[in-house]
Amino acid sequence: MFIATLIAADRLSSGDISAAEDALAEAGGYFMGRSWVELDRACDLLFSSPPDPVRQALEGLVSGVDVVVQGEAGRRKRLLVADMDSTMITVECIDELADYAGRKAEVAEVTERAMRGELAFAEALRERVAVLKGLDAAVIDRCHSERVRIMPGAQALVRTMRAHGAECILVSGGFTVFADRVAKTIGFSRAISNLLGIEGGRLTGTVAEPIVGADRKREVLLDAAAEYDLELAETLAVGDGANDIPMIEASGLGVAYRAKPRVAAAAAARIDRCDLSALLYAQGYSKREWVTD
pLDDT (tens digit per residue) in 60-101: 999 999 999 999 999 999 999 999 999 999 999 999 999 999
Q: Is 10 a catalytic residue?
A: no
CATH number at residue 64: 3.30.70.260
Could you tell me if 80 and 61 lie in one domain? no
Active site residue 99: no
Q: What are the start-end ranges of the H helices in the chain?
A: 14-26, 51-58, 93-100, 104-115, 121-130, 138-147, 154-163, 176-186, 214-227, 245-250, 261-266, 278-282
- Alpha-carbon distance of 170 to 188, in angstroms, equals 6
Which residues constitute the domain of residue 101?
76-293
- pLDDT, position 177: 98
Pair (129, 273) in one structural domain: yes
Reply yes or no on whether the pLDDT at 50 is more than 90. Answer: no
- How far is residue 41's CA from residue 281's CA, in Å, rounded to a whole number? 9
Of the residues 44, 66, 85, 95, only one is catalytic, namely 85
Look at strands 30-38 and 42-48 and give their pairing: antiparallel
Q: Which of 83, 99, 240, 244 is catalytic?
A: 83
Note the pLDDT of residue 279. Answer: 98
Which are the contacts of 128, defined by CB distance < 8 A and separation ≥ 6?
A: 94, 98, 107, 110, 111
The verdict on 92 and 144 lying in the same domain is yes
Q: Which distant-in-sequence residues (6+ apart) come within 8 Å of 61 by Cβ?
A: 19, 20, 23, 67
Could you give the number of structural domains in the chain? 2
